[in-house]
């Protein structure tokens, strides 16, 4: 029997939404994009993305590029 880490699923959903928002920014010729999230741990990881050694940290660095 297994388990589901619901907190991790929420972080991945927020991360994918963030990624999609950043992808459409240049398509709409937007200079700036303001992202909001109620997922504090994801925001903290994004702000400190260079320190992340996990897959989530890697993806945050890739999204930011």
pLDDT, tens only, 4-48: 667 778 888 888 888 888 888 889 998 888 888 888 877 777 777
Report domain extents, the chain.
Answer: 6-64
Question: Which pLDDT value is given to residue 4?
Answer: 62
- Rounded CA separation 65/62 (Å): 5
pTM, 2 dp: 0.56
> Does residue 1 surpass a pLDDT of 60?
no
3-state helix, strand, coil in the chain (%, to 5): 65, 0, 35
């Amino acid at each position: 029997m297994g388990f589901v880490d619901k907190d991790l699923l929420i972080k991945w959903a927020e991360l994918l939404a963030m990624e999609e928002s950043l992808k459409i920014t240049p398509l709409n010729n937007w200079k700036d994009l303001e992202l909001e999230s109620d997922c504090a741990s994801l925001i903290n990881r994004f702000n400190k993305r260079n320190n992340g050694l996990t897959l989530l940290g890697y993806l945050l660095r890739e999204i930011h590029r």
